[in-house]
Chain A
Amino acid sequence: MVPISWYLILSAILFSIGVAAFLIKRNIITVFMSIELMLNAVNLTFVAFAQQWHMVRGQIFVFFVMVVAAAEAAVGLAIIIAVFRARSTLNVDQIDLMKL
């Protein structure tokens, strides 16, 4: 028997670590990975609330978040490859201008 609030607190911990990693990491790929970590933390919240109110819709929402995350990962990594071609660096401090 585990209270639902424990799952919610676990997802809050994961989300906060994701926020900290997003702010602290300097590599653009790792920054992108911390966004995925935050998405996963929110998915855990959705599944926990779906269990709380015995609703299937919460899990459907997680399915759609996964689909959007897959599309976002494909496009985002393509953008990272394009940025690396143009700048030949992955450090976010050196990629601070939109213009080439």
Chain B
Amino acid sequence: MHLALFCIFGALCVAGALNLLLQRHPINSALSLIVVMSSLAVLYLLLGAEFLAAAQVIVYSGAIMVLFTFVIMLLNAGREQRTHGSKMAWVLGFPGAAVLLALLADIFITHSGDFHRVQAGEYVVNTAMLSGVLFRDLLLPFEVTSILILIAILGAVALARKEH
């Protein structure tokens, strides 16, 4: 069951990411990124992260991607055109990413004996455990993030406002 869910949603993740790479219109890329983020929420649930799965759906595929699609529609972004720079990027970008993938995969495969196997429901971090650490041991960083968000809101409003 765990293996089947991992295969289905892992394949959805990779397919969505490849679709983001290959689509020419930004709105198609944004919609495939929503697929990637929602499937990642299921993978978090398989890894026993209940709160993060909910936060992933609400924050990432909800708030952030709505912001992206809103900006794409606001700026009326069309299909991207091919330029000289994009041909260079195709020549250099794909081998670079492939080398990075080969390196990371090699490291993970050679050390795969050190990792154990996950069984669904074996170790689940519920919201009570998470908030125990977050609000007791890490209270100051948590409060600092609220100031960060406030400054980000003010900065976004100041930047996006029309100048008179």
CB atoms of A37 and B17 under 8 A apart: yes
**Docked complex: A8-55 residues within 8 A CB-CB of B:** 8-10, 12-21, 23-27, 29-30, 32-34, 36-37, 40, 43-44, 47-48, 50-52, 54
Rounded to whole angstroms, the CA-CA distance of A18 and B33 in the bound complex is 11
Instruction: Tell me how far the C-beta of B92 lies from the nearest C-beta in chain A, rounded to whole angstroms.
Output: 7
Given contacts A3-B117, A15-B100, A50-B49, contact A10 B14 (CB under 8 A): yes
CB atoms of A56 and B133 under 8 A apart: yes
**B97 at interface (Cβ–Cβ under 8 A)?**
yes
Cβ contacts under 8 Å, A5 to chain B = 108-109, 111-112, 115
What count of chain B residues pass the 8 Å CB interface test?
A: 88
CB atoms of A51 and B108 under 8 A apart: no
CB atoms of A17 and B2 under 8 A apart: no
CB atoms of A15 and B159 under 8 A apart: no
CB atoms of A29 and B101 under 8 A apart: no
CB atoms of A59 and B30 under 8 A apart: no
A73-B67, A77-B67, A91-B80 given; 19 more Cβ-contact pairs under 8 Å: A1-B3, A8-B108, A8-B115, A12-B108, A15-B100, A27-B77, A29-B26, A33-B68, A37-B36, A50-B47, A51-B118, A60-B134, A66-B60, A70-B63, A70-B64, A74-B67, A74-B155, A79-B159, A93-B83
Residues of B whose CB lies within 8 Å of any CB of A are 2-3, 6, 10, 13-14, 17-18, 20-21, 26, 29-30, 33, 36-37, 40, 43-44, 46-49, 51-52, 55-56, 59-60, 63-64, 67-68, 71-72, 74-75, 77, 80-86, 89-90, 92-94, 96-98, 100-101, 104-105, 108-109, 111-112, 115-119, 123, 125, 129-130, 132-134, 138, 141, 145, 148-149, 151-153, 155-160, 162
**Can you report 29 residue pairs joining A to B where beta carbons are below 8 Å apart?**
A1-B117, A3-B116, A4-B115, A5-B112, A7-B47, A7-B118, A8-B115, A10-B43, A17-B21, A17-B97, A19-B97, A23-B89, A24-B90, A26-B82, A26-B85, A29-B68, A30-B26, A30-B80, A33-B33, A40-B37, A56-B133, A57-B133, A67-B149, A68-B148, A70-B149, A72-B152, A74-B67, A78-B158, A81-B74
